[in-house]
Amino acid sequence: MPEGPEIRRAADRVARAIAGRPATRVRFAFPELKRFERRLSGKRVDAVDTRGKAMLIRFEGGLSIYSHSQLYGRWYVRPAGQLPRTGRTLRLAIHNPDRSALLYSASEIDVLRPAEIETHPFLSRLGPDALDRELTDSALEARLADARFARRQLAALLLDQGFVAGIGNYLRSEILFVAGIHPARRPRDLSDDERHALARAIRRVSRRSYRSAGITNDLERARELRARGLSRSAYRHHVFGRAGERCWSCGGVIESSTRGGRRLFVCPSCQPAAQA
Ligand SMILES: [Zn+2]
């Protein structure tokens, strides 16, 4: 599933294609949204925002198109009127004279008024966005200390979009590795230094992935490994997807387990289960 950084990059591509100018034609596949086609066509696209894994395309006049790509949704940007070759189903198309922004396969699409954004069942429950430039380490440390979150295992907490929005499966493993913290631990059992390291890793690993198109490994190391001929999937991450391979930092063997049906990767020596 695309995570916050992938959604933000898709939003950037969509914004480059359609923001700041009128959308000449807007088309929805879902019958209940057809009534908005005429109201949105001809209106300027003011901004393309993300909140965690959701996207909001804001139109002049106050309406926004909300979408959540879930597992299968995918955005394409094409020259106006051209469609990609795909077996997917087109759900939403926003055209201007030069470009078409096309959303395929997503099942969650809606049109929201400003007040409905604030009360939306998914959006209203989201925590702060891991990619938000205004988010600080100290705000995240306070959140980790909050009674709502402090007793939960980090393996589950980090995937809770109400804690921090935008973290998914690969970011969870990578953030915990960078912080040096085992996923079975809980915020209340962390030292101040560990809480700080975790807050910092949540922001930094998410931003690194956004800027580098999904690389969470140290960028210098990733460059070296690529120069040595390693594939992107081999150098992309610290631990995610690398079970049985050597940790880049300590040389130990990376282990994997399944939490809540989703894979989790750990270096047992860099992320000890109990505090030393
Ligand atoms: Zn290690």
Do residues 81 and 27 both lie within one domain? Answer: yes
Does residue 146 belong to any structural domain of this protein?
yes
CA distances from 166 to 66, 81, 170, 176 (A): 16, 32, 11, 15
Do residues 161 and 258 both lie within one domain? Answer: yes
Do residues 213 and 186 both lie within one domain? Answer: yes
Q: What is the pLDDT of residue 89?
A: 94
Residue type, 220: E
Q: What is the pLDDT of residue 263?
A: 93
Q: Does 74 participate in catalysis according to the annotation?
A: no
The overall average pLDDT reported for the chain is 95
Angle at 265 (CA atoms; ends 260, 267), nearest 5 degrees: 140
Asked if 131 contacts 5 with a C-beta cutoff of 8 angstroms, the reply is: yes
Distance 92 CA to ligand 1 centre (A): 44
Q: Does 195 participate in catalysis according to the annotation?
A: no
Express as a percent the part of the chain with pLDDT over 70.
Answer: 99
Distance 264 CA to ligand 1 centre (A): 15
Q: What is the pLDDT of residue 261?
A: 80
Q: Which of 51, 53, 99, 208 is catalytic?
A: 53
Q: What is the pLDDT of residue 275?
A: 53
Q: What is the pLDDT of residue 133?
A: 93
As a whole number of angstroms, the distance between CA 93 and CA 76 comes to 10
Distance 250 CA to ligand 1 centre (A): 4
Q: What is the pLDDT of residue 145?
A: 96
Does residue 276 belong to any structural domain of this protein?
no
Whether 71 has a pLDDT exceeding 90, the answer reads no
CA distances from 73 to 33, 130, 180 (A): 18, 21, 33
Q: Which of 105, 125, 145 is the last residue of a domain?
A: 125
Does residue 50 belong to any structural domain of this protein?
yes
Q: Does 3 participate in catalysis according to the annotation?
A: yes
Confidence of residue 10 (pLDDT cuts 50, 70, 90): very high
Cα 75 → chain centroid: 14
As a whole number of angstroms, the distance between CA 182 and CA 217 comes to 18
Q: Which helix (H) or strand (E) holds 14?
A: helix 4-18
Least Cα distance to 17 among 101, 104, 102, 103 occurs for: 101
Asked if 59 contacts 44 with a C-beta cutoff of 8 angstroms, the reply is: yes
Does residue 274 belong to any structural domain of this protein?
no
Q: Which of 39, 188, 246, 262 is catalytic?
A: 262
Asked if 167 contacts 130 with a C-beta cutoff of 8 angstroms, the reply is: yes
Domain with 240 in it: 137-266
Digit-coded pLDDT (tens) for 105-146: 988 999 999 999 999 999 999 999 999 999 999 999 999 999
The 3-class SS string of 60-126 reads CCCCEEEEECCCCCEEEEEECCCCCCCCCCEEEEEECCCEEEEEECCCEEEEECHHHHHHCCCHHHC
Q: What is the pLDDT of residue 242?
A: 97
Whether 276 has a pLDDT exceeding 70, the answer reads no
Q: Does 262 participate in catalysis according to the annotation?
A: yes
Q: Which of 3, 6, 141, 174 is catalytic?
A: 3
Distance 257 CA to ligand 1 centre (A): 16
Does residue 256 belong to any structural domain of this protein?
yes
Q: What number is the average pLDDT over the span 41-63?
A: 96
Digit-coded pLDDT (tens) for 139-198: 999 999 999 999 999 999 999 999 999 999 999 999 999 999 999 999 999 999 999 999
CATH assignment at residue 159: 1.10.8.50
Does residue 77 belong to any structural domain of this protein?
yes
Confidence of residue 260 (pLDDT cuts 50, 70, 90): confident
Q: Which of 94, 125, 156 is the last residue of a domain?
A: 125
Residues, Cβ < 5 Å to ion ligand 1: 247, 249-250, 252, 267, 270
Distance 177 CA to ligand 1 centre (A): 8
Residue type, 157: L
Do residues 157 and 111 both lie within one domain? Answer: no
Q: What number is the average pLDDT over the span 221-226?
A: 96
Express as a percent the part of the chain with pLDDT over 90.
Answer: 93
Q: Which of 125, 157, 188 is the last residue of a domain?
A: 125
Number of independent structural domains in the chain: 2
Do residues 112 and 228 both lie within one domain? Answer: no
Query: How many Cα neighbours within 13 Å face the side chain of 62?
Result: 5
Q: What is the pTM of this model?
A: 0.94
Whether 22 has a pLDDT exceeding 70, the answer reads yes
